[in-house]
Amino acid sequence: MSEHVLSSKLYYAIWILLLILTVVTALVATVDLGPFNTIVALAIASCKAVVVVLFFMHVKYTSERLTKMVIFSAIFFFLILIALSMSDYATRHLL
């Protein structure tokens, strides 16, 4: 994929970031934020995921547009599954 040899410092930095985010998400869950608990938890998880994809999976350093297309397509169709299913579940009680 990429011929870049990344510095090990970068990998360690990402690793520390992931560990910190893990601890943060566990701690934040113990605080009452009402409906924001879920949003914050998912946001932190998404940050972790993005960081793994960009750095550990080298997507930041690839010149391949196709790789990004593949990732976006999968996420897009997953969201379609969720969204259109929810269009049923979210409106069932309305009639």
Partner 1 sequence: MATATVIPVEREHYLNKEYGIRSWLLTTDHKRIALLYLLSITFFFFIGGFFALLIRLELLTPAGDLVQADTYNKLFSMHGQVMVFFFLIPSIPAVLGNFLVPLMIGAKDLAFPRINLLSWYLYVIAGLLMLHAMITGGVDTGWTFYTPLSTAFSKTQVIEAGLSIFVAGFSSIFTGLNFVVTIHRMRAPGMTWSRMPLFIWAHYATSVIQLLGTPVLAITLVLVVLERAFHLCIFDSTCGGDPLLFQHLFWFYSHPAVYIMILPSMGVVTEIIACFSRKRIFGYSFIAFASIAIAVFGFLVWAHHMFVAGISIYSALVFSLLSYSVAVPSAIKVFNWTATMYKGSITYTTPMLYAFGFIGLFTMGGMTGLFLACLGIDVHVTDTYFVVAHFHYIMVGGAVMGYLGGMHFWWPKISGRMYPEAWGRLAALIVFIGFNLTFFPQFILGYLGMPRRYWQYPAEFQVLNVLSTAGSTILAVGYVLPMVYFLWSMRYGKVASDNPWGAAGLEWKTASPPTTFNFDETPVVTWEAYNYDEIPAPEEVAVER
Partner 2 sequence: MEQQKNSAALGMWLFLATEIMFFGGMFCAYLIYRVWYYNEFASGSRSLNLKVGTANTVVLICSSLTVALAVRAAQMGKRRLLVMLLSMTMLLGLVFLGVKGYEWYEKYEEHHIPGYGFNVSDIASDYPQLHIDPRHSMVFFSLYFAMTGMHAIHMIIGVGLFAWLTFLAWRGHYGPEYYTPIENAGLYWHFVDIVWIYLFPLLYLIDRKPL
What Cα–Cα distance (Å) separates residue 94 from each residue in 50, 85, 87? 37, 15, 11
Q: Which is nearer to partner 1, 39 or 79 (CB)?
A: 79
Candidates 9, 65, 87, 89: give the one binding partner 2 (CB under 8 A).
89
Q: Which is nearer to partner 1, 46 or 73 (CB)?
A: 73
Q: Is 24 in the site for partner 2 (CB under 8 A)?
A: no
SS3 for 23-51, per residue?
HHHHHHCCCCCCCHHHHHHHHHHHHHHHH
Contact 68, 59 (CB under 8 A): yes
Candidates 9, 36, 57, 65: give the one binding partner 2 (CB under 8 A).
57
In angstroms, rounded to a whole number, what is the distance separating the alpha carbons of residues 30 and 52?
Answer: 25
Q: Is 54 in the site for partner 2 (CB under 8 A)?
A: no
Residues that bind partner 1 (CB under 8 A): 66, 73-74, 77, 80-81, 84-85, 87-89, 91-92, 94-95
